[in-house]
A and B are shown apart, each in its own frame.
Chain A
Amino acid sequence: GAGVSQSPSNKVTEKGKDVELRCDPISGHTALYWYRQSLGQGLEFLIYFQGNSAPDKSGLPSDRFSAERTGGSVSTLTIQRTQQEDSAVYLCASSLSRVRNEQFFGPGTRLTVL
């Protein structure tokens, strides 16, 4: 079956503009994660959705960042008033359930803020 997909693959924007990043998880996966990875660094947890539960937003770095997941499937990460320090690769992952939590990652969106 299809894996996790993300769009766009690359996004270049100007400082101050808003951007939306999209993630399509594997069908049937109840958990969805967003991470941020700067060049040569590890994964920074941003937000976690599990089924119909309230999302865990504890990793969002500022109120300029928000995410939603519609119908328990597709998720959109929105960054408002982008700053240069937001430049990174944004990775989305999904897992089958709370118990089966091996993660399947998408290819990422490389965001460059000029």
Chain B
Amino acid sequence: SQQGEEDPQALSIQEGENATMNCSYKTSINNLQWYRQNSGRGLVHLILIRSNEREKHSGRLRVTLDTSKKSSSLLITASRAADTASYFCATVARTSYDKVIFGPGTSLSVIP
């Protein structure tokens, strides 16, 4: 299966700290995406990184991709209580060109 696997399953940090979540996958990909899900806003796309990119930034988010290790990380800097949510990585495999498959997610709790 190409499905990504996030690590850790759950993470609890204090407000202001950085949060790092990891995603591993099994097959070659076209791109990898990160999504956030919270009860108020549903599932929202955060950032997409293509297979030929190594790092990408968006505001307080930093995503890295290591295709040799088939892994990605999402770093949220200076976390806020509003960052409390589940975070999912999703992969688009080269062989199934544009079918997006989600991992099981990381549950992040940011304590004020």
Q: Which residues of A contact B (CB under 8 A)?
A: 31, 33, 35, 41-43, 45, 48, 50, 56, 91, 93, 95, 98-99, 101-108
We find that the number of chain B residues with CB closer than 8 angstroms to chain A is 21
Given A42-B88, A43-B88, A102 and B102 contact (CB-CB distance below 8 Å): no
The CA of A56 and the CA of B98, in the complex, are separated in Å by 11
| Cross-chain contact B101 with A45 (CB below 8 angstroms) | yes
The CA of A21 and the CA of B102, in the complex, are separated in Å by 21
Could you say which of B45, B97, B104, B105 contacts A103, with CB atoms under 8 Å apart?
B45
> In this assembly, does B44 line the interface, its C-beta being within 8 Å of a C-beta of chain A?
yes
Q: Which residues of B contact A (CB under 8 A)?
A: 31, 33, 35, 42-45, 48, 88, 90, 92, 96-105
CB-nearest residue of chain B to A102: B45
| Cross-chain contact B102 with A45 (CB below 8 angstroms) | yes
A19 to chain B, nearest CB (A): 21
Task: Name 16 A/B residue pairs within 8 A (Cβ), A-sorted.
Answer: A33-B100, A35-B102, A42-B102, A42-B103, A42-B104, A43-B43, A48-B99, A56-B96, A93-B43, A99-B98, A103-B33, A103-B43, A103-B45, A104-B45, A105-B42, A108-B42
| Cross-chain contact A105 with B104 (CB below 8 angstroms) | no
The CA of A29 and the CA of B90, in the complex, are separated in Å by 19
CB-nearest residue of chain B to A41: B104
The CA of A112 and the CA of B112, in the complex, are separated in Å by 34
| Cross-chain contact A107 with B42 (CB below 8 angstroms) | yes
Measured between beta carbons, the chain B residues less than 8 angstroms from A50 are 98
The CA of A29 and the CA of B92, in the complex, are separated in Å by 17
Interface centre among A31, A95, A102 (most CB of B within 10 A): A102
What 6 new A-B contacts, CB under 8 Å, besides A42-B105, A101-B31? A42-B88, A42-B103, A43-B43, A43-B88, A102-B33, A103-B43
The CA of A104 and the CA of B98, in the complex, are separated in Å by 14
